[in-house]
Amino acid sequence: MTDLHPIEHLRYVARSGGVPAAMLVEETAEAVLGLSSRFGQVDSAELLVACRRILSRRPVSGPLWWMAARVVTAADVRREVAELLRELAADRTAVELEAALPHGATVTVVGWSIQAAQGLLRRGDVSVLALDALGEGAELARQLGLRGIVATRVAPEAVAAAVAASDAVLVEASIAGPGEALCVTGSVPAAAVARHLGVPVWLVAGVGYRVPQALYDVAIARWQAEPDGRVEPEPADVGRDPTEPRLRNEERLDVALVDRVACEAGLLAAPPIPTTPNFPRVPELEHLGVVLAERDL
């Protein structure tokens, strides 16, 4: 990516789909550093515009909001980028999840959960029921199986049976505020069934995923700006009845359905969902609104 102009690099990152959050943050940080002048300084106005653009395109990534808030308020952007990347690399969420899981536990995991998978791989002696939310569970089960974990794909209609056989249900947040989290579609019914059956629900949300209420509200407003939660149309949308319900990739999970939050600080009681430490307030990002569209990138 070194041959791209910094703004082109940001445009590339913003349009990348299916990228792990830590990798997305690192790529974005690299592009932000590319905005530096030859004197090693970053133009603050250009930096803010770049951050607002990528957040408008990828509003449901908590770590991107965390990164943007940190770099926009930093006195030394290069040092701040290096520090936040160190914090991501040192994220103990997987370690804490490993320690919290009982020996020989059976857990239901909703969809493709990178953070949860890291903890499960560290634990090793668990059985995983991978709920095939949006078709992601089969691949999670396959990848865990290749690494020695007993993992089984579970069809969405079998969610009750899976939860009943589990010691805990793991749902992963893409972004979380104090009172709710945005998770892969299928998380809400799984959590509701777990609450009915008395099975604990653990929300997995590591460093950067948990944002202050003001930023969460802005992210949700941008996400809701499109009727299906996407920020660009797909070919199948052409000529579609706008009143017809459409499947979103994410759904809002209320903290009332969450028993614990698995994060870098351990397995914490909920509510509330604790905000990531060192998360500065940035009024310029709180007023992002929903005005930036795909054509602006």
Domain spans, the chain = 6-90, 93-229+249-269
pLDDT in tens, 62-106: 999 999 999 999 888 888 888 988 998 899 999 999 999 999 999
Domain 93-229+249-269 maps to which CATH number in 2.10.109.10, 3.40.50.10470, 3.30.9.100, 1.10.10.10? 3.40.50.10470
**Distance (Å, rounded) from C-alpha 91 to C-alpha 205?**
11
pLDDT of residue 54: 80
Please identify, in words, the CATH class of the domain defined by 6-90: mainly alpha
- Dihedral sign from CA coordinates of 43, 89, 17, 158: negative
Residue 229 contacts residue 249 (beta carbons within 8 Å) = yes
pLDDT at 293: 39
Phi, psi of 175 (to 5 degrees): -160, 145
Q: Is the dihedral of CA 35, 41, 43, 49 positive or negative?
A: positive
Mean of the pLDDT values across residues 129-155? Answer: 92
pLDDT at residue 50, rounded to an integer: 80
Please, which residues have CB within 8 angstroms of residue 4's CB and are 6 or more apart in sequence?
Answer: 12
273 DSSP assignment: P
Phi, psi at 168, each rounded to 5°: -165, 155
Is pLDDT at 234 greater than 60 in this prediction? no
Q: pTM to 2 decimals? A: 0.85
